[in-house]
Structure 1
Amino acid sequence: MKLKEKITLEEIEGKYFNVRLVESENNGKAALTHYLHNNTNGVSGYYKKGAINHLKNVLQYKYPDNNITQELAEEALQYLLFDYKDEVPFQVSKEPKFKFIDLFAGIGGFRIAMQNLGGKCVFTSEWDEQAKKTYKANFGEVPFGDITKPETKSFIPDNFDVLCAGFPCQAFSIAGRRGGFEDTRGTLFFDVAEIIKNKRPKAIFLENVKGLRSHDKGKTLATILNVLREDLGYYVPEPQIINARDFGVPQNRERIFIVGFRGDLEINKFEYPKPLNKVVTFEDIKEENAVSVKYYLSNTYLNTLINHKKRHESKGNGFGYEVIPDDGIANAVVCGGMGRERNLVYDDRLEDFTPVTHIKGEVNRQGIRKMTPREWARLQGFPDDFIIPVADASAYKQFGNSVAVPAIKATAENIIEKIV
């Protein structure tokens, strides 16, 4: 059998894109998009088999009465490669200076920062399906899935320069033991450490919540540093708490950054970036035009927040909603309702107060609204051409989980100058 007509990437990404790969529901799509995006840099070989297998299933779905061979799938892959155009918002430099991988990638905050410095992403993984949708819309690649699975790890190429990971924080069971590599098993950090051990990148760049420093009375961070320094042989300077506010975005967001360099590079000094001393306020990222009434609070909801705050204040607690003035700095954007309720704003430009969603009571006349997803994107340093293809609820979650791009870029710049 010969292909009757070329199968196009538009078809693959349209009605055939959700055809399941026998070995893995997710990794076939990831292998195909990674193959296409890495066809000129010597990395595509790591993805070719998975890409062909995925296309074989797609063709079998399209031509159910035919026996689709490996050769036909390869032919289809070559057609795709010939017609492929890298038309995505965030393009890679034609002559990248270094290669990196993006673990726990979210929606690509690390990737934007690293690409802006001349980097080429050669592997990415993220398990959340809605985040994958956003990542694909902006970078043209579907992230691989669960990084704890050996099959997913098997796609990671050799010889990349930097490992980036905003890994979740977990406690280790280290009672009475050394707190080394083996003691981290069962945690997501173990998977990061295992990849570092097997691939030996020149540098590592890890990001986590500020609380990692005191997590489990400091034992968690101590174990991480011991593994990186003693077990894996990386030079790791003392981690630093970096505030996004110091790097050009009006958000008070503190995160711990951990940087490391492979021992044989003989790098024994590293300085984290200094604050820019640039004053930026919410007004600088506020929507230029009036926003939909759906972002405005109802009187009922607003009164609930007011009463909730009063109850806490009577007990001496500082919990509750907060309205950020135009000349103010936002609180950290985080997942959950409090991330939005502690970042309400005044906006008196609304003229039509007719609700467009099912709310209790009338829309408040004080001009109090939630920030929009685009304002959250700006608080995290994402450019305005970053596509938000998901519903608001998912968008808030994704930006709340993301890294602050300018802080990542400023730190990465100091890393790259050491290894390039």
Structure 2
Amino acid sequence: MSSTAAPAFTFIDLFAGIGGFHAALSALGGECVYASEIDDAAAKIYQHNWEMQPAGDIIAETDPVVKVPPHDVLAAGFPCQPFSKSGFQRGMDEARGTLFGNICSILLEHRPSMVLLENVRNIAGPRHAHEWDVIIRSLRQLGYQVSATPAVFSPHLLPPSMGGRPQVRERIFIVGTYVGEERAQEDVEPVVHNRPIDGWDPQQWDLGTILQDEDEIADRANYELTPTEQHWVKVWSEFVRRLRAAGVEKLPGFPVWVDAFIHLDDLVIHEDTPAWKANFLRKNAQFYTEHESLLNEWLADFDELNGLPSSRRKFEWQAQDAASLEDCIMHFRPSGIRAKRPTYVPALVAITQTTILGRPLRRITPREAARLQSLPDWFDFPGQPDSATYKQLGNGVNAGVVYHVARAQMARSGDRWDRILAATPESIDDVLD
């Protein structure tokens, strides 16, 4: 948002999406002087909320530096690309011609004080070990002191008082401060660690803290389940209810497969069956044998679950001692209907995986999804379908986590950042809301 005060620093926002980095860095007093985003729909939302039009995909151009102004911080949620292994230069030579290589070109040209990159966790996994090595070596060759150990963090690890959110969204942050090439070769600890902050217990999260009041949800019918989906929930709600009524204190912790219900004495497992599947088959047979009468009555009352897709004939209970399915949140997954306590939700993804509330029975709304990404309620998505909004939020960064990571990097980056830390609170919520 525009401001008459002199900015504490300037930043550029590459692969900007709808502006999660912008939210965090502007909350720290920064001013965005350049943004780029190739997706037109996301760029429109960015322009609407941040009052600046992102350029197209200039980062993919041969010479992107000519359009990028000087800046203090380069932020980018960049896509991971395979690098050429020709010659195994393990650094900038291998990065040339890629999107990350163009980021390096901008860093070489402008030497911003700080670089803040975000990516999915598996960029530091064994399948991408070469890419990770190239990224770290390239940044060090450019004079940026970065950790070779991945900095992984998720919003559910931050307590509410520090701007956390009830969402598991583990992401890699590659954060560096310009110190010159010689000092940059010294390794440092990751700027954040993948564990709760200040003794916070993530099991204390209550998803209700981000939910809208039912009477304030416009077009509420859009978020209700279809009759078919409601039937799926009714089937498994009755499954849980009957087991609880029968005194079953501990529901199965393994995936329940109705198509594997067979008496234990009749179980035959072929020798070529994978070990994990054989284990589940045995557990389902044991479960069915122990509760045969109850389960047969349940199946009979619901026509043996005929007509339910294979994935809806499977059920994953991760809600511990919850009394009923209505007390849970659910996700319709290819592996089955998963139920868990309404503490925190899995990472936001496409609309087909949107979290479902057991009570009231509906999907979370776009506003609630935006809150899970630490975006304020004034941030809106005019003129587009909800499916586009869910997609943009699922592709975005969590602004509260970026705010936390950026402050942590500023704290280790020298005197020039001290006044920013002194002037800004620990939580992004105290600035944006």
What CA deviation, in whole Å up to 9, does each residue of 1:51-99 have, x standing for no partner? xxxxxxxxxxxxxxxxxxxxxxxxxxxxxxxxxxxxxxx3446121111
Contact 2:65 2:105 (C-alpha < 8 Å) held by counterparts: no
The code of the aligned residue for 2:406 comes to: A
- Cα deviation for residue 134 of structure 1 reads 0.7
Q: Does the residue aligned with 2:89 lie in a helix, a strand or coil?
A: coil
Percent of counterpart pairs with the same letter? 34
Q: Any residues of structure 2 matched to 1:73-112 within 5 Å, and which? A: 90-92=1-3, 94-112=5-23
Gapped runs of 5+ residues in structure 2?
159-163, 234-307, 317-332, 417-433
- Cα deviation for residue 262 of structure 1 reads 1.3
Q: Quick check: 1:139 aligned with 2:154?
A: no
Find 2:191's aligned residue among 236, 256, 272.
272
> Aligned residues, how many?
304
What CA deviation, in whole Å up to 9, does each residue of 1:208-257 have, x standing for no partner? 0011111534111111111111x312211233111111121000110000
Q: Does the residue aligned with 1:208 lie in a helix, a strand or coil?
A: strand
Give the structure-2-normalised TM-score.
Answer: 0.64
- CA distance in structure 1 between the aligned counterparts of 2:65 and 2:314, rounded to whole angstroms: 47
Change (3 A) 1:134 1:215: farther
Larger deviation, residues 382-391 vs 180-189 = 180-189
What CA deviation, in whole Å up to 9, does each residue of 1:152-197 have, x standing for no partner? 5422112x11110000122222155222212223432112112112
Contact 1:171 1:216 (C-alpha < 8 Å) held by counterparts: no
Find 1:258's aligned residue among 139, 161, 174.
174
Larger deviation, residues 183-192 vs 195-204 = 183-192
Contact 2:9 2:29 (C-alpha < 8 Å) held by counterparts: yes
Change (3 A) 1:92 1:401: farther
Contact 2:122 2:128 (C-alpha < 8 Å) held by counterparts: no
Change (3 A) 1:217 1:110: closer
The code of the aligned residue for 2:396 comes to: S
- Cα deviation for residue 263 of structure 1 reads 2.3
Give the match for residue 372 of structure 2: 379
Find 1:399's aligned residue among 368, 393, 401.
393
- CA distance in structure 1 between the aligned counterparts of 2:86 and 2:67, rounded to whole angstroms: 35
Contact 1:322 1:344 (C-alpha < 8 Å) held by counterparts: no
The code of the aligned residue for 1:370 comes to: R
Give the match for residue 336 of structure 2: 320
Over the aligned positions, Cα root-mean-square deviation in angstroms equals 2.7
Give the structure-1-normalised TM-score.
Answer: 0.66
- CA distance in structure 1 between the aligned counterparts of 2:39 and 2:340, rounded to whole angstroms: 30
Contact 2:232 2:312 (C-alpha < 8 Å) held by counterparts: no
Contact 2:350 2:394 (C-alpha < 8 Å) held by counterparts: yes
Find 1:299's aligned residue among 227, 233, 242.
227
Change (3 A) 1:270 1:217: closer
Q: Does the residue aligned with 1:293 lie in a helix, a strand or coil?
A: helix
- CA distance in structure 2 between the aligned counterparts of 1:311 and 1:223, rounded to whole angstroms: 45
Give the match for residue 82 of structure 1: none
The code of the aligned residue for 1:387 comes to: D
Change (3 A) 1:163 1:215: farther
- CA distance in structure 1 between the aligned counterparts of 2:133 and 2:26, rounded to whole angstroms: 31
Change (3 A) 1:383 1:323: farther
Gapped runs of 5+ residues in structure 1?
1-89, 349-366
Larger deviation, residues 379-388 vs 146-155 = 146-155
